[in-house]
Amino acid sequence: MEERMIQTLEQAGHRVTEPRSQLIKAVVAQKERPFTGEALYEELKEAGLGRATVFRTLKLLQDLGLLSRLHLPEGCQHYIVSPPEHQDGKHHDRIICRVCGRVAYLDECPMSEVIADIAKASGYKVETHHLDFLGVCSDCLASSDEN
């Protein structure tokens, strides 16, 4: 995952400096859990990374499709690492566990028919949408049953 991110950056013509490579390591360590730029900065500032570097690099990784933004009830500043099969820059609808933050991806966009209806009714050409479901994952459901 780390290698792939570095490769993607280099192929896009960006230098992978030491701070960037540290940030990538920290990002990959988040696995499929959402994180904020602020939390990542807190983690990396000891290593000498500035806030601007952290946020600029996150934005860059997002632009390259390696991260995406997540809109959670507590705010929109979260990022999530895109799984390798979803680093194609296409949109993927998601379902997020509000307890543990795990993100699952829908195989298919459930919106295509709805979008056709919306386009017809409004006369707009619909180009994109963001669809995130919020819920509780099966693991969290199971552990809350036990309690």
Say whether residue 103 binds Zn ion (CB under 5 A). Answer: no
Q: How far is the CB of 114 from Zn ion (least distance, A)?
A: 9
Q: How far is the CB of 40 from Zn ion (least distance, A)?
A: 21
Q: How far apart are CA 130 and CA 95, in angstroms?
A: 12
Element (H, E) at 97: strand 94-97
Closer residue to Zn ion, CB minimum distance, 56 or 92: 92
Say whether residue 60 binds Zn ion (CB under 5 A). Answer: no
Q: Which range of residues in 16-24, 35-43, 78-86, 124-132 is near Zn ion by CB under 5 A?
A: 124-132
Q: Which DSSP state fits 27? A: H
**Longest CA pairwise span in the chain (Å):** 54
